[in-house]
Amino acid sequence: MSEKQINGFDIEISSKISLAKAKLKALTEEVKTLELALAPLPAPVTSKRIAALDGGGYSAELFGVTIFPVRAAGAVFEEGKEPLWIEKNNVDILTIEEDPKNFGSLLRDILEVEVAIELAQHKPDFLLLDGSITNLGYKGIPRSLQFLLEEKKELSEEGIGSRFHKLFLKYLRKAYELIETCIANDVILIGVSKDSRANVLVKKLYGKKKIPAISDTSLIRLKEGGKTGFTTPIDFKPRIRDIRKRIWEAANVFTNEKLQSYYLTYFILKENAIPIRVDSLLPQKDKLKDIQEMMVTYHDDNGFITPPYLTHKRAHMSPQLGERLVNLIIESVLDDSPELYQAFLSRKRRDIIQ
């Protein structure tokens, strides 16, 4: 890049920064007029039996297929005892027409839900999922599946994308089974999002007025600065589109209206820490105080909580491990059938020249 090009790029960057700053300042002035108060954190309580889990994965896009190794790991933590670990691993090899990006994510999500069900059967006091539990019922529907539903075709038909559609229904049924298991066993099910960009609280505060383009996390940090505390729990229900109803009907899940809504709270456990989003089930409304006490009791002194941190480390799949697993598959195909390797499993040029 020449000096003239660099100077032109600098001007372009400065212009974009100025525009962004002006927009953010306008947002800041607007939201400062809102009323938002944090409740003080409760005192820690006696430790409980806490279960937590997380998932990990890796993907390799080859010439004609995508390989996805995935895993999930969770444990029941109890003071004075070794953690009870449950782990599951899987791998799939997808051809180009099978929506590989969404398929790989869905494959990992199913493993996480299956681990969660096994953990719930051990009847811990709490079961902590990584991310929002709204994902259990309101997981994003990819365009490939939306098209099939909009055309009112049978989800069970064979053909392009049929494996993905069946897997999506399996996920919904497993997710519903998890919720029912937790309610039946009196396990408090919550979702913990460490870096949420949702705007559920913002929408609640603005009601029918025009909603600004700001996340709940940014709003809380602007309004409350570096204070500790938690926001008043609010009940919310994501918008249910017709296509969502169709897929619930196809999977025969979430017919109970109480399981279509949730409670949302944000916790700031350490001064200047990023707020943690916590979701819980509407039928477990009487457990909100227990959730607040648990969050304080298991604070890791760094603004997060310990059980999800431990399971994240266990479930994480490093790029090195992911690449080793992919290479094992490639080598196996190469040894057995060089023709298949050349046509489908050889590396892309851009991967070779990096």
Confidence band for 224, pLDDT divided at 50, 70 and 90:
confident
Q: Full-prediction pTM beyond 0.85?
A: yes
Phi then psi for residue 42, to 5 deg, are -75, 170
Average pLDDT over residues 331-354: 76
For residue range 34-45, what is the model confidence (pLDDT) as tens digits?
888 899 999 999
Cα 119 from chain centroid (whole Å):
18
Domain 50-320 fold = archaeoglobus fulgidus dsm 4304 fold (3.30.2170)
Average pLDDT taken over every residue of the chain: 88
pLDDT at 353: 46
Phi then psi for residue 303, to 5 deg, are 95, 5
Q: Report whether 116 contacts 124 (CB < 8 A).
A: no
In the predicted structure, residue 349 carries a pLDDT above the cut 60:
no
Looking at the chain, list the stretches that DSSP marks H as alpha helix, in order from N- to C-terminal side: 3-31, 100-120, 135-138, 143-150, 162-184, 200-206, 216-224, 242-251, 288-297, 306-315, 319-336, 338-340, 349-352
pLDDT at 153: 56
* Bridge partners, residue 265, by sequence: 278
